[in-house]
Amino acid sequence: MWETVAQAVINGLLIGGIYALVSIGVTLIFGVVKIVNFAQGEFVMIGMYLSFYLATQFGIDPIVSLVVTMPALFVVGVLVQHFLIRRVLGPNDMPQIFLTFALSLLLLNLALMLFSANYRTVHTSYSDEAFHLGGLYIPVAKLIAFVVAMILSGALWVFLHTTDLGKAMRAASQNRDVATLMGINPNRVFCVALGIALALAGAAGSLLMPFYSAYPFVGQVFVLMAFVAVVLGTLGNVVGALIASLMMGIAESLGIQYVGADSGQIVVFAMLLLTLAFKPNGLGGGRVR
């Protein structure tokens, strides 16, 4: 019995790491730029396809391909901010929401056009292997993904709290006007925020490749969970998103185990709605940390 619970918790934790990478990106963008990026899942998808082609054309292991996907998507993030998002920043949030939504639709269908709906899989030597500890099993690929996700999250936290640019970003997220008065260029800060967020999405994509298949709609599968995590952890709160993601992964896993295999999402939604009923700003309390 204990074995089952422990295994469920491990499963949830590991997938929670991936949710974390996606949700941290979303929450960072919201915290700094104050918009919700509905297209985040599609950037994960792009990361996956990029890794797929690097793996099949050059034989580069997906995890190693991080060093390509992350910078590539960072650049994409800067471009998206500079040419698209900048134009709809304003008091009205509707154009912003619909812009990123349209972007999501665009990327998804471009992928469909260019790559067709077929699933792309990469098999590495460790793809289907697992560590066995007692009666528990820990899939190798997922463990690596989790560890890298935690490292990247930690690196982001350090960046936000120790570097000047990071502090500038936090300042801009707390109060854009005052930050501008203090000489911080908002657009530059936003570009960096977008860049980092998309780089994290790309990382998620690369980390997913060994054990997940790439197809145009794959982003949609992860983005919903990521969004719930963002809200749960308070929009803009990076640490909150991380913790919420891990919690959600575990809750989903336990929900599937003990409530019903189709109830994973319901349990998570229940968590969300209950939390919002009593803590409308999420568990994090509304600060960007």
Q: Which of residues 134-163 bind other proteins (CB under 8 A)?
A: 137, 139, 142
Write out the binding residues for other proteins, residues 236-275 only, by CB under 8 A: 252-253, 256-257, 260-266, 269-270, 272-273
- Ranges within 224-243 binding other proteins (CB under 8 A): 224-225, 227-228, 231, 235
What phi and psi values does residue 130 have, to the nearest 5 degrees? -145, 150
- Name which of residues 86 to 125 contact other proteins (CB under 8 A): 87-88, 92-95, 97-99, 101-103, 105-106, 108-113, 116-121, 123
For other proteins, the closer CB: 44 or 168:
44
**Per CB under 8 A, 8 contacts other proteins:** yes
Instruction: Tell me, rounded to whole angstroms, the distance of Cα 282 from its chain centroid.
Output: 18
Q: Which of 132, 134, 164, 183 binds other proteins (CB under 8 A)?
A: 132
* Distance in Å, CB of 51 to other proteins, minimum: 15
DSSP E strands in the chain: the ranges are: 130-133, 136-139
16 or 166: CB nearest other proteins: 16
Using an 8 Å Cβ cutoff, are 157 and 239 in contact? yes
Number of residues binding to other proteins, judged by CB under 8 A? 82
Letters for 18-57 (x = contact with other proteins by CB under 8 A, - = none) are xx----------x-----x---------------------
Which residue, 148 or 256, has its beta carbon nearer to other proteins? 256
Cβ density class 177-194: b for 16+ within 10 Å, e for less = eebeeeebebebbbbbbb
Contact 234, 285 (CB under 8 A): yes
Nearer to other proteins, 133 or 182 (CB): 133
Minimum distance between the CB of residue 288 and other proteins, rounded to whole angstroms? 15
Considering only residues 206-225, where is the footprint of other proteins by CB under 8 A?
A: 211-213, 215-217, 220-222, 224-225
Select from 8, 15, 13, 70 the least CA-distant residue to 212: 15
Across-strand partners of 214? 120
Q: In degrees rounded to 5, what are phi and psi of residue 209?
A: -50, -40
244's tokens: 């919420």
The SS3 of residue 120 is strand
Query: Do residues 223 and 45 make contact, with C-beta atoms less than 8 angstroms apart?
Result: no
